Each structure stands twice: as C-alpha cells, then as structure tokens.
Chain A
Amino acid sequence: DVKVTQSSRYLVKRTGEKVFLECVQDMDHENMFWYRQDPGLGLRLIYFSYDVKMKEKGDIPEGYSVSREKKERFSLILESASTNPTSMYLCASSLVSLGYTFGSGTRLTVV
C-alpha cells in the first residue's frame, strides 16, 4: 500500500520558533507538495517539487522554505512561527499527472 508519512501528527511551538516538518513517500513519485489548511479556507499550496533539488512556489510561500535532497523526502521549514489559529500542514506526492496521495497531516499550534 502506498504511503506518505509525515514526521509529526501534532506539534506545539512558541511564537518566533523555527518549525521543521518532514515528509517521506515510498512510491518513487516525482512530485511532492506541501499544503496548508486553515479553517474556512480549504487547502492552499505552499511549495511543490517536481524533481530532486527542484522547487516551485505555490500560492502562499511567504515565510516558508523547502528542501528536496532525495526523491523520497520533502522538507518544509517555517522560519518563524506566528500565533495564527491552529493550521494543518499536509504533504502529498504524485506520479506525473495522476492522483495525489496525502499524508495524515501535522496540526501545528503556536503559543
């Protein structure tokens, strides 16, 4: 069964702290994505990567950076956590234009 694994299910950080999220997929997919989900706003694309060391900005890249050093791993860094309502971070992978497989998500709370 195909799998996308996110490093943490729940995360609590203090305002201003750096946040590091990691995503690993075992399907040899070329494409990987990071989305953020906030209440009432649906899923918004932060960054995506279509190959190792390649990345492109999505709709809300400000304050974030990403890293893809290996095909199976896509990391997201939030440079400075801010006190927004709790957000869900979702990682996904896909093979070319076929369907996405999502991870279970990381719920980030900033205090």
Chain B
Amino acid sequence: DAKTTQPNSMESNEEEPVHLPCNHSTISGTDYIHWYRQLPSQGPEYVIHGLTSNVNNRMASLAIAEDRKSSTLILHRATLRDAAVYYCIRGAGTYKYIFGTGTRLKVLA
C-alpha cells in the first residue's frame, strides 16, 4: 500500500514550532517523500520534498529518519496562515502521487 499514515489533526499555538509526523514504513529506496498543504478552498500547494537527507527551505524543514520509514515536517514558527491540511506523500512510481487524508493543523492565536 502506497499510502502514508498521519494523525488526523494537530493543534499549535501561534509562533511556536510544529512537528507534523508521517509514517511510510513500506517506502522503497527510490521513492521521494513529498509534503503538500491545502489552505481552505484552494488546491494543494508544494511545501518540501526529500529523499534521504534532511531538507530546509523558506517554508519548512523536513527531517527524514535514518531508515526512511518516517519523516517529520517542521514549521519553525507557526502563524495563523499556516492553518491547513498537510499531506505527506511518497512517490508511487515515477510520477503518480497517492494522497491520504492528511493532518488538519489548527493554529491558536
């Protein structure tokens, strides 16, 4: 099964770090791990992706476990605009993504 496992929902206080976990225990050696987020009434948008090493960009950081069976998306300082559904996806084949139901992040002011 190519789906990943994520908690249904999480809460965070504004300006605090958020760690969003994802399990992908059946990932193959060549599958990338991708994170997308979906703001209300919009299509999903790209956040970050990685293969083995930890990755950083202006939006977030991605920490990948050494055995690659899990990963964590880190938002360093959550803002109200980060409230969204976050999807963790493993690349299934060369180009087909399979989305799970994601984690709904609520940010409290």
Interface residues of A (CB under 8 A from B): 4, 31, 33, 35, 40-45, 48, 50, 58-59, 90, 92, 94, 96-97, 99-105
> For chain B, which range describes its interface: under 10, 10 to 19, 20 to 34, or 35 or more residues?
20 to 34
> Total number of A-B contacts with CB less than 8 angstroms?
50
Q: How far is the CB of B84 from chain A (nearest CB, A)?
A: 13
Instruction: Kindly state the separation between the CA atoms of A40 and B94 in the bound complex, as whole angstroms.
Output: 27
> Which chain B residues border A41 with CB–CB below 8 Å?
101
Q: Is B99's CB under 8 angstroms from A42's CB? A: yes
Q: Is B101's CB under 8 angstroms from A96's CB? A: no
Q: How far is the CB of A54 from chain B (nearest CB, A)?
A: 12
Secondary structure of the A contact surface, majority rule:
strand
Q: How far is the CB of B30 from chain A (nearest CB, A)?
A: 9
> Which chain B residues border A44 with CB–CB below 8 Å?
99
Interface readout for B47-64 with A: 1 if CB under 8 Å, 0 if not?
001000000000000000
In this complex, what residue of B is CB-closest to A35?
A: B99
